[in-house]
Structure 1
Amino acid sequence: MAEKLSSSYLHLAQTVHNIKNLVPLTLDLQKVQYHTWEELFQVVVRAHNVLDHIDDPKTSPPNSEVSSAKWKQLDVVVLSWIYGTISEDLLLTIIKPGSTAREVWLHVKNLFYDNKSARAADLDNQFHHINLENYPNVTAYYQQLKSLADQLKDVDKIMSDQRLVL
């Protein structure tokens, strides 16, 4: 029978000193890359065995070997990771004292999903009005097109390869 672990042990998640090394993308409201950020973040929480702090509790209950005090401590670690990987504007929009990592995770997700239609229209407009003459070279122009296409994908408006080429 597994013995309960004490709250004084060092969990793998507590060894992360700079979350930006593991999630190099900063999520912000202007450059919508939510799906990419979400995937990178989920890779880190899975690798550090703290997925239960952002996942649906019905499908991922808290680890029974972790004490309540330790679970709360780890929740603050995951919460600090979220705060450390989003822009200052987004942080000021979502921060609420006493929130759990899951509450903040869902708040961020809802911000990006609730405004999909408006974001899609704005990004589509930007995509259609992009001009090569505004960029120093073809590579910069292509990178901007790709960025806009990725952002459109994040709001469920997929750009076909044919449309990208045209």
Structure 2
Amino acid sequence: MATAPIQGGPTAPPATIPPPSLTFSDTITDITPFIPIVLDLNSHNYYHWRHLFEMHLGRCSLLHHISGDHPPAPHDPRRIKHDLAIIQWLYTRISTELFNLVVTDGASARDIWAELRRLFQDNRDARVSALNTELRTITQGDRPVGVFCQRIKAIGDELRELGEVVADRSLLHALMGGLDDRFAQQATLIPLLRPLPTLAEARSMLQMEEQNQARKAAAPRLYHATTRPATAAAATPPERIDAVD
């Protein structure tokens, strides 16, 4: 005999729809804190800009959108959304001149990435020649030591990006040869050290000397007052006494 269902018994909970999963492309709209560099044709900053961008995309698990490791899926809505987010990030971290050169309707993130790479690595031989000339002739001028070292390192990084082999010794010699006369002593002594210091170590030595020079220049100068001995009063000539006849 079938039993009737118990009235008022426990009922199954209603089915819940899981919330949509969010990704970095959904939550990050401003990537300036992660990529503070704006890519520009005249700033020689492609190497560092590319490094930061690849690091950011790797952190977001989106590096395959520009690397070509996975075939494109033009009908995957999720991939399309991620690709559009990357394009937006790219457009916000390049100069207006570069934007006008690479913007194209229907281009993917990989297309724009490849075009940027081509713009900075085109005419490789001419760029290598110009960078080597700058490295040989660069001088500090009125730049602080840190800024001067950064420029030398940036030249080396860009040459390596173009496939050139640049030894740290070459960068160190460029630094020593371009220093201001205020660092003449350090420019003579640092190349004699063994083992030869790296560019970073030489920069630390020079910045310490720069700080010492700035501290001495800012210190008040003490002038010691010297007392001059009082001059003896001019002796009055003796009164002339005429002889009495």
* TM range, smaller chain: 0.7 to 0.9
Answer 1 or 2: which has greater helix percent. Answer: 1
Deviation for aligned residue 1:52: 3.0
Alignment correspondent of 1:43: 55
Determine if the alignment matches structure 1 residue 107 to structure 2 residue 115: yes
Residue 155 of structure 1: which of 146, 162, 173 is its match?
162
Determine if the alignment matches structure 1 residue 60 to structure 2 residue 67: no
Q: Which is higher, the Rg of structure 1 or of structure 2?
A: 2
Alignment correspondent of 1:143: 150
Distance 2:92 2:48 in 1: 16
Alignment correspondent of 2:36: 24
Determine if the alignment matches structure 1 residue 129 to structure 2 residue 141: no
Residue correspondence of structure 1 range 81-100 to structure 2 within 5 A: 81-100=89-108
Distance change >3 Å, CA 60–CA 124, structure 1 → 2:
same
Identity among equivalent pairs (%): 27
- CA deviations on 1:58-92 (whole Å, 9 max, x unpaired) are x32468xxx72232122110101111222222111
Query: Where in structure 1 are there 5+ consecutive unaligned residues?
Result: 1-7
Distance change >3 Å, CA 105–CA 50, structure 1 → 2:
same
Determine if the alignment matches structure 1 residue 15 to structure 2 residue 23: no
TM-score scaled by structure 1?
0.78
Distance 1:162 1:94 in 2: 37
Deviation for aligned residue 1:104: 0.6
Number of corresponding residues = 154
Q: Residue type matched to 1:159 in 2?
A: V
8 Å contact from structure 2 (residues 44, 154) kept in 1: no
State the structure with bigger RCO (CA 8 A, min sep 6), 1 or 2.
1
Deviation for aligned residue 1:12: 2.5
Alignment correspondent of 1:4: none
Alignment correspondent of 2:4: none
Query: Where in structure 2 are there 5+ consecutive unaligned residues?
Result: 1-19, 174-245
8 Å contact from structure 2 (residues 38, 95) kept in 1: yes
Alignment correspondent of 1:74: 82
Distance 2:61 2:143 in 1: 45
